[in-house]
Chains A and B, each alone.
Chain A
Amino acid sequence: MTTLNNGVEANITQTQPLWLLAEITYRCPLHCAFCYNPTDYADHTKNELNTDEWIKVLRDARKMGALQLGISGGEPLLRDDIEDIVTEANQLGYYSNLITSGVGLTEKRIDSFKAGGLDHIQLSMHDITEEISNFVTDTKTFKLKQKVAAMIKDRGYPMVLNVVIHRYNIGHIKEILEMAEKLGADYVELANTQYYGWSLINRNQLMPTKEQIDEAEKITNEFREYIGNKMKIFFVVPDYYAERPKKCMNGWGEVFMIVTANGDVLPCHSARVLPNIDFPNVKNDQLNEIWYDSSAFNKYRGDDWMKEPCQSCSEKENDLGGCRCQAFLLSGDAESADPICTKSPHRHLIDQALEDSKNEILQAQPIIFRTDKNSKELIQGEHKERLKDFKAMP
C-alpha cells in the first residue's frame, strides 16, 4: 500500500500526476499576510483560462491518472463557472476538493456544488478571535467564516478546516482545536507557515519561536489523544526549525501538477521564481507532453542535477535535496542543497532568519498584505529593503 500526503510513505516507481491543483484565479477578496501566491501575481491575473480550457485540462489530466483535484486560487469562488468544473470533475471520477476562504459561498452555490458531485470543501480559518482573524486577512470575514462552516456541515460535507499557523495565532492552538470540535470538523490542518511569496517578505513578522512551536505540537498531541479518530488533526511542521529539509512536493514532477490561472503548468506552487526555466502553458502544449517530455518537468527529476553535499549524501533519497525554490530564493543557486539542511553551506541563512525574527525592530516593520496595489508596487521595484535578502521576487 502506498499512502500519499497526510500519511505514511510513498513508493512511486513511475511519475504520474496523481494530484492536479487548479489555481483557477489569482484574484482574492482576502489579503492574507501569509499567502504563498507569488508576490507578482498582479502580472498573472489577466488571460485566465476559460471554462472550456479548464475542462480540457481536467480531461487530459484524468487520462494521465490524476485522481485528486484541488480547486484553489486566489479565491476560486470569484469565478462563476466552478459549478461546471465541479460537475465535469465528478463525471470524470476525480475526488474534488474546493479550497476556499468561504467568501462567496452562498446557499445557492453550495447546493449546486452538491448536485454536481463536489466531494469536499476545505475552509480556511485564522483564529478564534475576530480581531486576529480580521487583522491577518486584512478583511472583516471572521463572522462570515463561522456561518460558512455551519453551512458546509449542514450539507453533509466532510468538514476540513485549514488553519495557517503563525506568531499571531500559535498561542491559541488549544482554543482553535476546541472551536474545530464545536464546529464538527472531521479534519483539521494546522499548517505552520511555509515561507514563500507573501509570507517570505513578512517572515520576520510571522515566524513563531521554537518554544511556541514545541508547545503547539505538545497541545496538538494531547488533543489528538483526547479526540481520537473523531477528528483527524494534521500538524504540518515548519521546516525552519528542522535539521533536514522536506521532500518538497514529494519530488519534482513526481505526483503533483499545478495549472495556474493563465494556464502555466508548474511542478510546485512557487516554481516560477526559478531562473532559466520556461514553464509550458496548456494553451500551447499538450498536458501529457508537458508532464513527461518538457525540459521544465524533467529538470529536477531524479538526482543527476544534485551538487554536493547532496550528491554523495546517504540521506538524499529521503528528501531529494529539499525545495528548489527555497534553495534559490535564499542562496541564489537553485541546484544547491535546501538551506534548511544542517549539512548545507547556506544553513547560516536560516539561522540568521531565525535570529531576525526575534529582532524587535524588524518585527515592528509593517506587514505587507497581499493586495493588488502591493503586488504592483513590488513589481515596480518598491519595498526594496524587504526583498534584499532574496534572489528573486518570492
Chain B
Amino acid sequence: MTQKIELSDIYKIAPHHRFQWEEAQNCYVILFPEGMIKLNPSAGEILNLVDGKNSVENVVTLLKEKFKDAGDIEKDIISMFEFALNKAWISKE
C-alpha cells in the first residue's frame, strides 16, 4: 500500500506521534502509543523538517543546502517520505 509522494505535498508528524531529540540516545526519536523508533541521522534530519509548513520540495532544498557534499539526495529523501507515510508516522497537512 505505497502512496505516491508529490513534491508539492505538505506533511506533518501524524497525530498521536511525537518527534523529539533524545540527548541520552543521541538521536531523534518518534514516540507513539507503546512504541518508539530511534531514527538514524538522515531520517532524523528529514523528519525534523516535516512540520506542516515545508513542502517536500522545500525539505529537499533545505537539506541540499545543509549537506552540500551529499550529492543528489532527492531520491533518498522521497523514499524516506514514502517509508514514513507508509508507517503512518507522517500525515498530510
Contact = CB atoms under 8 A, between A and B. Distances in A.
B33 A122 contact: yes
A23 to B, nearest CB: 15
A6 B34 CA distance: 8
A332 interface: no
Interface string A75-94: 00000000000000000010
Contacts of A1: 37-40, 43
Contact of A68 (B16, B31, B39, B86): B31
B80 to A, nearest CB: 10
Contacts of A93: 20
A64 B33 contact: no
Given A158-B16, A186-B16, A67 B34 contact: no
A65 interface: yes
A381 interface: no
Contacts of A157: 16
A6 B37 contact: no
Interface residues of A, number: 29
A119 B22 CA distance: 18
Bin chain B's interface residue count: 20 to 34
Contacts of A3: 35, 37
A284 interface: no
A95 B36 contact: yes
Interface string B1-40: 1000000000000011010101011000101111111111
Given A67-B29, A93-B20, A95-B31, A229 B88 contact: yes
Contacts of A95: 18, 31-32, 36
Contacts of A5: 34-36
B51 to A, nearest CB: 19
A119 B24 contact: no
A267 interface: no
A122 B39 CA distance: 25
B85 to A, nearest CB: 9
B72 to A, nearest CB: 22
Contact of B38 (A2, A119, A120): A2
- Nearest first, the 7 closest Cβ-Cβ pairs linking A and B are A65-B24, A95-B31, A158-B16, A120-B33, A2-B38, A6-B35, A229-B88
Interface of A: 1-7, 16, 18, 63-65, 67-68, 70, 93, 95, 97, 119-120, 122, 157-158, 160, 186-187, 228-229, 232
25 contacts: A1-B38, A2-B37, A4-B35, A5-B35, A5-B36, A7-B35, A16-B24, A18-B36, A64-B24, A65-B24, A65-B25, A67-B22, A67-B29, A67-B31, A68-B31, A68-B35, A68-B36, A95-B32, A119-B16, A119-B18, A122-B33, A157-B16, A158-B15, A228-B1, A232-B88
